[in-house]
Amino acid sequence: MKAVLLGTTAGGGFPQWNCACALCVRARSGSLPARSQDCLAISGNGTDWWLVNASPDVRTQIASCALLNPGPGPRETPLRGALFTDAELDHTLGLLTLRGGTGLTVWAPGAVLHALRDQFDLRTVIDGYAPLAWREVSESFDLGGLQVTAIPISGKRPKYARSSTVDGPWVVAYRFQDPVSGGVLVYAPCLASWPEGFDDVVAEADCLLLDGTFYAASEMGSATGSSSGQAAMGHLPITSSLPELRRFPAVRRIYTHLNNTNAVLDPESPEAAKLREAGVEVPLDGTVIEL
Ligand code: MLT
Ligand code: MN
Ligand code: ZN
């Protein structure tokens, strides 16, 4: 199996359009590498590819990844569809860019399919250009030879769906297993707490991509100077997840969905040094993982 980290930041990206925090200023001037919004591409056979989440940056992400470029036929694309971990805008709006694509399938938890029809009707809009196949994820399913398992993570609803009374899970993680190589990759970009049973999922993985939105729960407030500061917004901060990750030194561990306030975006920061010392990575956009 091959996976490409197309984007590695939280909603807004790095730099964020309206942010003048010290980190965003450095990303804007080029002294830190810019990063696009969280999105993964995955393939079991190297021919058929799926996006895991479809970020608003998907047009440039596809253009900059040779593995996803169209051809050789004039409208031939290796992209077969997308899987959604949740219904957040930074994970779903990219579908609007893929409008008109034929034969695409979207897999998502039932609550997410509901939100994208009843709370924010992306599905009707997209289907007006070219109908997609919308599939509710069952516990386990086959994706072009990859074995996929959806792992319920939390009931965190997007803000636009806050009035929905539909039961979750609203957020899942995905476990991908290549039956030929045996490789296992787990993708969990939105983690509210360390879920029950997650130890076993991590222990059996070769590579874990985990929610690294915030280094500390308080950082939204300190970076923006807002005294009200939003707390961790349903994202387990690295200060809480790193001690968990330290228990799995044999697994390749990667933080993704980094918010622009997160000090680990600066490799010279003490926070980034702490990750290095724990053997945990924060690779840049475009990184390819083969398992
Ligand atoms: C999140 O990850 O919590 C959401 O993407 C937040 C947002 O879209 O504003
Ligand atoms: Mn997000
Ligand atoms: Zn910023």
What are the DSSP calls for 252-285, one per residue? EEEEESB-TT-GGGSTTSHHHHHHHHHTEE-PPT
| Secondary structure of residue 111 in the 3-state scheme | helix
CATH topology of domain 2-285: Metallo-beta-lactamase; Chain A (3.60.15)
Query: In whole angstroms, what is the distance from residue 109 CA to residue 150 CA?
Result: 8
Contacts of 135 by beta carbon, 8 Å cutoff, 6+ apart = 105, 106, 107, 108
User: Given this model, what pLDDT does residue 223 score?
Assistant: 62
280-281/79-83 β-pairing: unpaired
Contacts of 77 by beta carbon, 8 Å cutoff, 6+ apart = 68, 70, 101
Element (H, E) at 136: strand 133-136
User: Given this model, what pLDDT does residue 230 score?
Assistant: 52
The amino acid present at 9, given as its one-letter code, is T
User: Given this model, what pLDDT does residue 225 score?
Assistant: 61
d(CA 70, ligand 1 centre) in Å: 30
User: Given this model, what pLDDT does residue 229 score?
Assistant: 44
> 227: buried, middle or exposed (CB in 10 Å: 19+, 13-18, 0-12)?
exposed
CA-nearest residue, atom 9 of ligand 1: 11
d(CA 119, ligand 1 centre) in Å: 16
User: Given this model, what pLDDT does residue 219 score?
Assistant: 86
2-7/288-290 β-pairing: antiparallel
Residue 14: both structure tokens together: 């790095």
d(CA 14, ligand 3 centre) in Å: 7
User: Given this model, what pLDDT does residue 22 score?
Assistant: 95
Percent of the chain with pLDDT over 70: 96
Ligand 1: atom nearest CA of 235 is 3
d(CA 284, ligand 3 centre) in Å: 17
Pocket of ligand 1 (CB under 6 A): 10-11, 88-90, 190, 233-234
pLDDT tens per residue across span 109-129: 999 999 999 999 999 999 999
Give this prediction's pTM: 0.96
Q: Which residues surround ligand 2, an ion (CB under 5 A)?
A: 10-11, 88, 90
37 alpha carbon, closest ligand: 2
**What's the Cα-to-Cα distance from 44 to each of 70, 97, 129, 179, rounded to whole Å?**
18, 24, 29, 9
- Give every residue of the chain whose pLDDT is below 50, as ranges: 227-229
